[in-house]
Each structure stands twice: as structure tokens, then as C-alpha cells.
Amino acid sequence: MPGFPTDTDLQKVARRHRRKARPVKPNRREEARLRRAVSDLWKSVLWPATERIKQLVQQKASPAAIAREIEEALYLANTTYSRAAKNIIDSWMLGVDREVSIAIQRSMHQALGIDVTSVLQRPDVAEALQTAGLRAANLITSIPQEYLGRVAQAVADNFSGVDLPEGRTLLQQIQHIGGVSYKRAKLISRDQTSKLTAQLNQTRQQAVGIEIYRWRTVHDERVVGNPVGISPTGNSKHGDHYHMDGKLFRWDDNTVYSDDDGTTWKSRPKEWSQNVPGWDIQCRCWAEPEVDAGHVVEMIQEQRAGYLL
């Protein structure tokens, strides 16, 4: 049986009032590791294919010859790229989960003075990892197909006499598509690290009995909803976060919020995000845990009883 806090420790904790705990933010080291790995994969598989296609264009090769090169690149994308991407995702997921788990352990120890390691080892964490991994893998493995599909369309348009965007030549358009695809690979790394952290943060905080969190933003002009910022209104992809800052929210119900420290709960305005911090695309917000000591004790006792059965 994993080690649980003693009854004496739990009795001391239960007498404490609600406390704030240190928030868990996306680990920039893991984000950078994923970004480098995805960028290196792009360079090793798609960059050589791009150079070969550009060579054929410069040599005024036939559409059929260029199409064959694109088909070969797609084959590599479905084999070499996909296998490498899976290994990258698996390693990244474990790294993010490890960092989130350590951060929550430290946060709870600082807030309550107890070790919650045993409570964090729950099956639903594995489910959250699997779901997040599938989502990230689908996005990363879609990069080659999306990129080569756009290149194929540019080739077809060019040979059909259709003008390419902004008056570009076919060679310039292929270079432009490559630049956009490479930047998207880096954006996915940041966004998926934020989403995985948000999902694991929610799962692990609920595992230790944390039901409520305070929404925090970075307080700059890029916060969506800031009246004097870059995006003064939210949209379907990224709701208003500015007006959510400092208010209380529930992990188990994304439809409500409280602006009176949890005394009453109201429906979230439709303009606000309907997700958790870190989930909307490129969201930099985080959840500041509000620890109910009594509920944490109940969760630990429940977990301990389950091991004793």
C-alpha cells in the first residue's frame, strides 16, 4: 500500500481554513523540448522533400514528375515521420506529467504540510494522458499531409493557369507554404503543452480534493478581452479571459463562476471562455488552487480506505 499521511497529520490539516496553493503553470522546458523535436523532425523529413520539389520546379519538370515526388514525400510522412512523432509524443507526455505531479506535490506540501504523492496515483490520470496524447499526435502527424496537400494544390493551380496568392511564382509559393508549416509546428508545441498541463492539472487537483480555483491572467495587452489591449473582445476560438481574472471557478462545472469568494455561483457569460485556464488556443492563463483542507482530508481517507479493502 502506498504511504499515506498519518491520522495525526490529517487531524491537524482538517482544522485549517481554506488556503491558496501555488499554481501549476506549463513547463517551458518540456515545451521547448517538444518544439525542438518537432522542428528537427520537420527539417529531417519535409525540408529535403521541399528542396527536391523546388529543384523540379526550377528544372521546369512536368506536373506528373512533381506529383510523383509529392507522393513519395507523403509515403515518408506516413511511415518515418509518423513513427518518430509517436516516440516524441510519448516522451513529451511523460515529461509534462512528471512536472505537473511534482509541482502539485510541492504546492500541497507548502499549503498544508502533507505529502499527497499516494493520492495522485489514480487511473484517471492515465486516461487524461492518453486523451491528450492522441490529440497532440493527430495534430503533429497532420502537418506533412496538410503541407504537401497545399504544395500539390499550388502546383495544380500553377499549371492550370490560376494566379497564385499575392502574385507569387510557384517556387515562391512553395517556399511560403513551407514557412507557414514550420511555424505551425512550433505553435502546436506551445499550445499542446499548455492544453496537456491544463488537463493534468485539473485531473490531479481533483484527485487531491481541490474543487475550486481562481482564474489568473498575465495582465498584459495580449489578454483577450482587455478593453485597451490587442483583442478587446473574445471569439469562438478564444473567449474573453480579461473579465475572468481573479474570480473563482469550479473544476467540475465549467458553466459557473463566483465573484463573492464562493458564497454564490452564477452562470458564466457567453462571451467568456467556457474552458479551463490554458485550454483555449495560445492561452497563457493559469488556475490558482483554493485548497479546502477538510475536503482534502476526506479524499485522502477515501483513497486510503480503498487500498485497505
Is pLDDT of 45 > 80? Answer: yes
Residue 191: its H or E element: helix 170-207
229: cell is: 489591449
Rg (CA), the chain: 24
Confidence of residue 308 (pLDDT cuts 50, 70, 90): very low
- Give the pLDDT of residue 68: 93
Mean pLDDT, range 244-260, rounded to an integer: 97
* Alpha carbon distance 152, 296 (integer Å): 56
Q: Is the pTM of this model over 0.85?
A: no
- Give the pLDDT of residue 287: 95
- Give the pLDDT of residue 309: 45
Mean pLDDT, range 117-140, rounded to an integer: 77
Between residues 30 and 302, the one the model is more confident about: 30
Q: What does the DSSP 8-state code read for residue 165?
A: G
- Give the pLDDT of residue 110: 79
* Alpha carbon distance 169, 273 (integer Å): 42
Between residues 218 and 209, the one the model is more confident about: 218
The residue with cell 474570480 is: 247
Q: pLDDT by residue (tens digit) across 148-202?
A: 999 999 999 999 999 999 999 999 999 999 999 888 888 898 999 999 999 999 9
C-beta neighbour count of 309 within 10 angstroms: 4
Residues above pLDDT 70, as percent of the chain: 87
Residues above pLDDT 90, as percent of the chain: 50
Angle at Cα 204 formed by Cα 258 and Cα 245, nearest 5°? 30
Helices (H), 4-62: 7-14, 28-58
Q: pLDDT by residue (tens digit) across 55-97?
A: 999 999 999 999 999 999 888 888 888 889 989 999 999 999 8
Helix axes 123-159, 63-76, angle to 10 degrees: 170
- Give the pLDDT of residue 59: 94
- Give the pLDDT of residue 1: 45
